[in-house]
A and B are shown apart, each in its own frame.
Chain A
C-alpha cells in the first residue's frame, strides 16, 4: 500500500550520499586540524598521536599546522554544503517503495556524520584559537 510522506522526507540517494561525502570529508579535515593543533601541547596526547599515526603521520599532521585556518574554512564549507543537501526543503515523495529505503538509511547516516563533523569542527576551532 502506498502512502504519502507528510514530513521530513528522506533525501534522494544521490544528494544524501553527496552530503555523507561532504560531511565525512569535513569531519576528517576538522579532525586533522585537532591532531595538528594538539600534537605538541600535551604529554598525554602526543604519545597517543604518534602511536596512532606513526612518526611519519604525526610529522605530516604537524606540517599542516600553518594551514589550519584554511583547512577549517574548507571543512566549514563542506559541512555547510552537506547540511544544505540533507536539510533543504523538498517536495513530498512516495514512501514505501524500494527506492525510498536506501534513501532513508543514507539520510540518517549523512545526518549523523554531519552532526559529528560539526561537533568536531567546533572542537577544532576551540583548539586552534586556544593554541594560537
Chain B
C-alpha cells in the first residue's frame, strides 16, 4: 500500500473530477433548425454584459476553457448585469447526450445552455470573426447596446478562442477575458 501510493494518488485524482461535478438547475435548449431562441434571449437581456461561449462538449480544451471562465470570471463576479449563453455544438463527435455532463462545468445561474447540432451559431459568427470555418471553441463578449437582428450575427466587443486558425493574440486567457467583461460592466455603472 505504502509503496504504490503514487499510483493510487494518480488514479484516485481522476475520481472526484468525474464524480463530483456540480448540478445545474435548468436543462439545455435545442436550437434545432434556428438560432431564434438564442437571439430572443440575447435581445431580452439587452442592458447586460452578455457572453456567448461556443464549445463542443467532447472537446477537452473547450470544456477546460469553459470551466476556467466559470472559475476565473463568473465565480468571482456576482453581478446581475451579466448573462451567458453557452452554445454546445457537434464538433469532435459530440452529440446532444454529451451536453448534460458538460453543462455541469458552467453551473452559474446566469448561464443558459443550448445544443446546436447544425453549428448554426458557429456559422453565423464565422464571417463576423473572419474565421475560415464555423466558429467554435470561441468566447465572445457583447456590450449592453448590442442587438441580434436577422441573419447577421452581432459583432462582439471582445472575443477570444482556442483555435489553431484564429489570430494568436486572441488565444483564450480567462483573466484577460474577465477583465474585459469587467470593463464592459463598468460602462454600465456597475461596480459590484
Contacts and interface: CB of A to CB of B under 8 A. Distances in A.
Interface in A59-106: 59-63, 65
Contacts of A53: 14, 17-18
Contact of A62 (B3, B5, B60, B94): B60
Given A50-B101, A53-B17, A53-B18, A17 B4 contact: yes
A38 B122 CA distance: 23
A46 B4 contact: no
A129 B9 CA distance: 27
B64 A63 contact: yes
Contacts of B6: 21-22, 24-25
A40 interface: yes
A46 B91 CA distance: 10
Given A21-B4, A21-B5, A39 B18 contact: no
A46 B58 CA distance: 5
Contact of A56 (B58, B62, B68, B104): B104
Chain B interface helix/strand/loop/mixed:
helix
Tell me which of B7, B21, B62, B101 has the highest count of chain A C-beta atoms within 10 A of its own C-beta. B7
A105 B21 CA distance: 40
Contacts, number: 112
Contact of A54 (B56, B64, B93, B101): B101
Given A20-B3, A62-B60, A63-B64, A54 B21 contact: yes
A36 B63 CA distance: 13
Contacts of A47: 58, 92-95, 98
Interface string B6-27: 1100110010011111000000
Given A44-B93, A56-B17, A50 B7 contact: no
Interface in B76-95: 91-95
Contact of B104 (A25, A44, A55): A55
Contacts of A28: 7, 10-11
A54 B64 CA distance: 12
A23 to B, nearest CB: 9
The A interface is mostly helix, strand or loop, or mixed, namely helix
A54 B17 contact: yes
B102 interface: yes
A32 B160 CA distance: 27
21 contacts: A18-B3, A21-B7, A22-B6, A24-B7, A25-B7, A28-B11, A42-B92, A43-B91, A46-B93, A50-B58, A50-B60, A50-B102, A53-B18, A54-B18, A55-B105, A58-B64, A59-B17, A59-B63, A60-B64, A61-B60, A63-B68
Interface of B: 3-7, 10-11, 14, 17-21, 56-64, 66-68, 91-95, 98, 101-102, 104-105
Interface of A: 14, 17-18, 20-22, 24-25, 28-29, 32, 35-36, 39-40, 42-44, 46-47, 49-50, 53-63, 65
